[in-house]
C-alpha cells in the first residue's frame, strides 16, 4: 500500500486501526456478522438481476451490468454470504460502433438480465440486449468458458430472447425461458449455442403484469420457473408444471417490502446446497444506490418454494450450512494502481479507447489521456465503480502537470444527472471547478500540480457532496449537492474518474491518478 494511502488512513483517526483488528475489511460493507449470522443486503450496491449456481463447493453469481465494460460480472463465494469478483463474461461489445461512442452512444444497452449455468465442464452466461429503438432488433447472447475467470467466448444469436433463463435438463435437452408477461420456451441445440426449436408460448396471465426474469429449475421431476412481476414494487412468482411446455400453475412465493418500503423483493436465482437446503438471492431496488441482492432461505410447502421466513424477507439470519466457516471477503473497492491490469472493481462507461489509458507509462499510476468531448456524458474513457450504501465515499489523488488547454480531469459521481470536481486548464491557467449537471457551480484558481478530491454519497435523500484538498490533509467543501437520480433507467450512480478535452489541441493532455480510496462512511 502506498505511503500516501497509509497517511490518509492515519489521518482518519485511530478508530480505523482498532476496527482492523476485528475485521480485515473495516472500510467496506460486509453482511457477515462474524458470529454465524449474516445481515441483508449481501452487497450494498448495484448487483441487479442476480442468478446463481453451485459447482462443487463453490457458488457463482452473475449480474446485469447494462452499458458498462467489461460486462456481466461473475463473482464467487464459498458460503453464499461472502463474495469476491472472479471476472467478466464479456470483455467488450464489438457489434455496434455506438459502444465506441461513434455516431451515438450505447447507454442502457449491453448486458441485461443475466443467467448462469454450468454443464459438462463449461460455464454458460446468457443475457439479452434490448432494442435501442422500435426499428432496431435486440439480441440474445451466450458466453462460454472453462474457467469463470475467463477467457470467455461470446455467441450472438439471431433470435431475440428477453430476460433469458438458461436450463440444462437431465435428459440432455437445453432450453431458454424468456419473455415479459407472455412467456416462451425456446429449445437450443446440445451445445447451447444455437436454436433447435423456435419459441413456443407457455404462459400468459395478465394478473402478473410484466412477469419477467425467468429462471428454470427441475425438482423432483417437476419444472419450476421463478420470475418477478410488478417491477420496483414487485413480488416473486413461481410457475410449476409436469412438462417443460406446461401447462403451468402459479403461486406468489414472496411479496414483501418491509426492509425498504415501496420497493419489493423481486427477481433472482435459486440454488441447492449439499445438505439439501435451498436458498434464493433476490434483489431490491434502492433508488440511485442501485438494485441490491438479498439472501433468503427457501422452505418447500406443498411442493412450492416459499422465500424468506413467514412470508417476510429476513434481515439478520443464520448463515447457510456449507460444512465449515470461511473468512470474510468482500468485492474489491480501493485501488493503488500498482498492478499491470485494472482491478475487477472497475468498469468503463463504454468500450475503452485502449490508446488513451495506461497502467504502465508511469508505474503505480493510472494515466488517463484526454479524448475529445463537450461534456462528461460524451467522454469515452470514464472509469467507474459502484457507489455503495447506506453511505460511502471515494477519494482520489491526482497529478495534473500533464494537462493541456481544454482538459477537464477529475473525479465525481456519474449517472444522469452527474456532478464532479475537476481541474480545468484554459489559456495555460488551471482552475478547480465543481460542475453539477453541466453547469459550473464553483471555480477556484489553482497553481499546483497535485490535488485530492472526495465524493460522498448517502441513501438518505440520495444526495452526494464534494470536497477537495491541496495538501492531502485539509479538505474543503466545494460546490453544491448532487441530487442523485436515475436518468439512465435501472442503472445506479457510480464513482467516476475521467479526463476529456473540449478543445482539439487538448487531446495530448493527461492526468495521473495515484490511488482511489473507498470508505463505507
Q: Which of 300, 261, 263, 260 is nearest to 280 (CA)?
A: 300
Q: How does DSSP classify residue 355?
A: G
What is the per-residue pLDDT for 24?
60
Burial 215-247 (b: 16+ CB within 10 A, else e): bbbeeeeebbbbbbbbeeebbbbbbbbeebebe
What is the per-residue pLDDT for 135?
73
Looking at 268, 300, 318, the residue that finishes a domain is: 318
* pLDDT (tens place) for every residue of the chain, 521 residues total: 454 444 444 334 322 322 332 346 788 999 999 999 999 999 999 999 999 999 999 999 999 999 999 999 999 999 999 999 999 999 999 999 999 999 999 999 999 999 999 999 999 999 999 877 767 778 999 999 999 999 999 999 999 999 999 999 999 999 999 999 999 999 999 999 999 999 999 999 988 989 999 999 999 999 999 999 998 889 999 999 999 999 999 999 999 999 999 999 999 999 999 999 999 999 999 999 999 999 999 999 999 999 999 989 999 999 999 999 999 999 999 999 999 999 999 999 999 999 999 999 999 999 999 999 999 999 999 999 999 999 999 999 999 999 999 999 999 999 999 999 999 999 999 999 999 999 999 999 999 999 999 999 999 999 999 999 999 999 999 999 999 999 999 999 999 999 999 999 999 999 999 999 999 98
Residues 6+ apart with CB under 8 A from 193: 142, 144, 155
Concatenate the DSSP letters of all residues of 48-100 into one string: -S-EEEEETTEEEEE---BT-BSEEEEEEESSSSSEEEEEEEES---S-GGGG
Coil vs helix vs strand at 414: strand
Q: What is the C-alpha to C-alpha distance for residues 118 and 134, in angstroms, rounded to an integer?
A: 34
CATH number, domain containing residue 496: 2.60.120.200
Identify whether residues 386 and 312 lie together within a single domain.
Answer: no
* The three grid cell numbers given for residue 417, joined into one nine-digit string: 444527472
Distance between start and end Cα atoms, the chain: 21
Q: What is the C-alpha to C-alpha distance for residues 53 and 165, in angstroms, rounded to an integer?
A: 12
Q: What is the C-alpha to C-alpha distance for residues 126 and 168, in angstroms, rounded to an integer?
A: 13
Supply the pTM of this predicted model. Answer: 0.94
What is the per-residue pLDDT for 7?
43
Residue 295 forms part of a structural domain: yes
Catalytic residue among 46, 212, 336, 512: 212
Q: What is the C-alpha to C-alpha distance for residues 164 and 216, in angstroms, rounded to an integer?
A: 10
Identify whether residues 101 and 249 lie together within a single domain.
Answer: yes
Identify whether residues 297 and 356 lie together within a single domain.
Answer: no
What is the per-residue pLDDT for 11?
39
Coil vs helix vs strand at 24: coil
Coil vs helix vs strand at 305: strand
Q: What is the C-alpha to C-alpha distance for residues 170 and 173, in angstroms, rounded to an integer?
A: 7
Identify whether residues 139 and 276 lie together within a single domain.
Answer: yes
- The CA radius of gyration of the chain, in Å to the nearest whole number, is 23
Identify whether residues 414 and 273 lie together within a single domain.
Answer: no
Taking the CA atoms of 67, 238, 217 and 328 in sequence, report the sign of the dihedral they define.
Answer: positive
CA 77 to chain centre: 16
Catalytic residue among 46, 49, 397, 512: 49
Coil vs helix vs strand at 367: strand
CATH number, domain containing residue 186: 2.115.10.20
Residue 192 Ramachandran class (φ > 0 left, ψ -120 to 50 alpha, else beta)? left
What is the per-residue pLDDT for 350?
98
Identify whether residues 166 and 72 lie together within a single domain.
Answer: yes
Count structural domains, the chain: 2
Identify whether residues 255 and 150 lie together within a single domain.
Answer: yes
Residue 68 forms part of a structural domain: yes
467 bridge partner residues? 454, 477
Q: Count how many Cα atoms sit within 13 Å of the Cα of residue 467 in the half-sphere of its side chain.
A: 14
Concerning whether 49 is annotated as a catalytic residue, the answer is yes
* Phi/psi of residue 435, nearest 5 degrees: -120, 130
- C-alpha distances out from residue 297 to 114, 301, 314, 322, 409, Å: 22, 13, 8, 14, 46
Q: Which of 13, 15, 41, 9 is nearest to 313 (CA)?
A: 41
The continuous run of DSSP H or E covering 5 comes out as: helix 3-12
Place of cell 473540449: 502
Contact between 433 and 443 under an 8 Å Cβ cutoff? The reply is yes
Looking at 318, 337, 355, the residue that finishes a domain is: 318
Cα three-residue angle 45-46-50, rounded to 5 degrees = 115
Cis bond before residue 276 (omega within 30° of 0):
no
Residue 19 forms part of a structural domain: no
Residue 18 forms part of a structural domain: no
Q: What is the C-alpha to C-alpha distance for residues 277 and 65, in angstroms, rounded to an integer?
A: 29
CA 178 to chain centre: 22
Identify whether residues 380 and 311 lie together within a single domain.
Answer: no
Residue 301 forms part of a structural domain: yes
Q: Which of 178, 203, 204, 174 is nearest to 190 (CA)?
A: 174
Residue 328 forms part of a structural domain: no
Concatenate the DSSP letters of all residues of 249-268 into one string: EEEEEE---TTSTT---EEE
Identify whether residues 437 and 357 lie together within a single domain.
Answer: yes
Q: How does DSSP classify residue 233?
A: G
Residue 187 forms part of a structural domain: yes
Residue 269 forms part of a structural domain: yes
Identify whether residues 202 and 290 lie together within a single domain.
Answer: yes
Supply the range of the domain harboring residue 468.
Answer: 347-519
Identify whether residues 312 and 393 lie together within a single domain.
Answer: no
Strand ranges for 120-247 from DSSP E: 122-129, 139-145, 153-157, 165-168, 174-180, 182-188, 195-204, 212-219, 222-229, 235-241
Looking at 268, 299, 318, the residue that finishes a domain is: 318
* The three grid cell numbers given for residue 501, joined into one nine-digit string: 478535452
Helices (H), 141-260: none
What is the per-residue pLDDT for 232?
87
The continuous run of DSSP H or E covering 19 comes out as: helix 14-22
Q: SS3 sequence, 131-161?
A: CCCCCCCCEEEEEEECCCCCCCEEEEECCCC
Q: How does DSSP classify residue 44?
A: S
Residue 154 Ramachandran class (φ > 0 left, ψ -120 to 50 alpha, else beta)? beta
What is the per-residue pLDDT for 16?
31
Concerning whether 471 is annotated as a catalytic residue, the answer is no
Identify whether residues 150 and 199 lie together within a single domain.
Answer: yes
Amino acid at each position: 500500500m502506498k505511503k500516501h494511502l497509509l497517511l490518509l488512513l492515519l489521518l482518519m483517526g485511530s478508530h480505523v486501526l482498532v476496527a482492523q483488528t476485528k475485521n480485515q475489511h473495516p472500510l467496506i460493507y460486509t453482511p457477515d456478522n462474524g458470529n454465524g449470522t449474516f445481515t441483508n443486503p449481501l452487497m450494498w450496491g448495484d448487483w441487479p438481476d442476480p442468478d446463481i449456481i453451485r459447482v462443487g463447493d463453490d457458488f457463482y453469481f452473475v449480474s446485469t451490468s447494462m452499458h458498462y465494460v467489461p460486462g456481466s460480472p461473475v463473482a464467487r463465494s464459498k458460503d453464499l454470504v461472502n463474495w469476491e469478483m472472479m471476472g467478466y463474461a464479456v470483455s467488450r461489445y464489438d457489434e455496434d460502433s455506438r459502444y465506441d461512442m461513434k455516431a451515438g452512444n450505447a447507454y442502457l444497452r449491453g448486458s441485461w438480465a443475466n443467467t448462469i449455468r454450468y454443464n459438462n465442464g463449461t460455464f454458460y452466461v446468457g443475457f439479452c440486449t434490448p432494442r435501442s429503438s422500435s426499428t432496431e432488433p435486440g439480441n440474445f447472447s451466450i458466453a462460454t468458458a472453462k474457467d469463470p475467470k475467463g477467457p470467455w467466448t461470446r455467441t450472438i444469436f439471431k433470435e431475440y430472447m428477453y430476460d433469458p433463463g438458461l436450463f440444462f435438463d437431465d435428459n440432455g435437452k437445453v432450453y431458454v425461458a424468456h419473455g415479459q408477461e407472455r412467456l416462451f420456451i425456446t429449445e437450443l441445440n446440445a451445445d447451447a449455442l444455437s436454436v433447435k426449436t423456435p419459441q413456443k408460448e407457455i404462459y400468459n396471465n395478465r394478473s402478473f403484469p410484466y412477469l419477467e426474469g425467468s429462471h428454470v429449475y427441475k425438482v423432483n421431476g417437476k419444472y419450476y420457473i421463478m420470475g418477478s412481476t410488478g417491477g420496483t414494487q414487485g413480488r416473486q412468482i413461481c410457475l410449476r408444471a409436469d412438462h417443460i411446455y406446461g401447462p403451468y400453475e402459479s403461486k406468489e412465493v414472496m411479496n414483501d417490502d418491509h426492509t425498504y418500503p415501496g420497493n419489493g423483493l423481486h427477481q433472482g436465482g435459486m440454488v441447492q446446497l449439499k445438505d439439501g437446503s435451498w436458498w434464493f438471492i433476490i434483489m431490491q431496488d434502492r433508488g440511485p444506490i442501485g438494485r441490491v441482492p438479498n439472501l433468503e432461505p427457501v422452505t418447500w410447502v406443498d411442493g412450492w418454494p416459499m422465500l424468506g421466513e413467514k412470508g417476510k424477507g429476513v434481515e439478520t439470519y443464520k448463515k447457510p450450512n456449507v460444512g465449515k466457516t470461511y473468512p470474510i471477503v468482500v468485492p474489491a473497492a480501493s485501488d493503488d494502481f500498482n498492478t499491470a491490469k485494472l482491478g475487477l472493481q472497475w468498469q468503463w462507461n463504454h468500450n475503452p479507447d485502449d490508446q488513451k489509458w495506461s497502467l504502465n507509462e508511469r508505474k503505480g499510476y493510472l494515466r488517463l489521456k484526454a479524448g475529445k468531448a463537450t461534456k462528461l456524458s460524451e467522454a469515452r474513457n470514464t472509469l467507474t465503480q459502484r457507489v455503495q450504501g447506506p453511505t460511502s465515499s471515494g477519494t482520489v489523488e491526482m497529478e495534473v502537470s500533464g494537462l493541456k488547454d481544454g482538459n477537464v480531469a477529475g473525479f465525481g459521481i456519474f449517472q444522469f444527472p452527474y456532478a464532479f470536481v475537476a481541474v480545468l486548464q484554459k489559456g495555460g491557467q488551471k482552475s478547480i471547478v465543481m460542475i453539477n449537471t453541466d453547469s459550473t457551480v464553483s471555480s477556484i484558481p489553482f497553481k499546483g500540480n497535485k490535488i485530492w478530491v472526495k465524493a460522498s454519497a448517502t441513501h438518505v435523500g440520495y444526495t452526494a457532496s464534494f470536497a477537495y484538498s491541496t495538501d492531502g490533509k485539509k479538505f474543503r467543501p466545494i460546490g453544491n449537492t448532487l441530487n442523485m437520480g436515475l436518468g439512465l433507467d435501472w442503472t445506479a450512480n457510480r464513482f467516476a474518474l475521467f479526463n476529456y478535452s473540449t478543445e482539439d489541441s487538448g487531446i495530448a493532455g493527461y492526468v495521473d491518478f495515484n490511488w482511489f480510496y473507498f470508505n463505507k462512511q
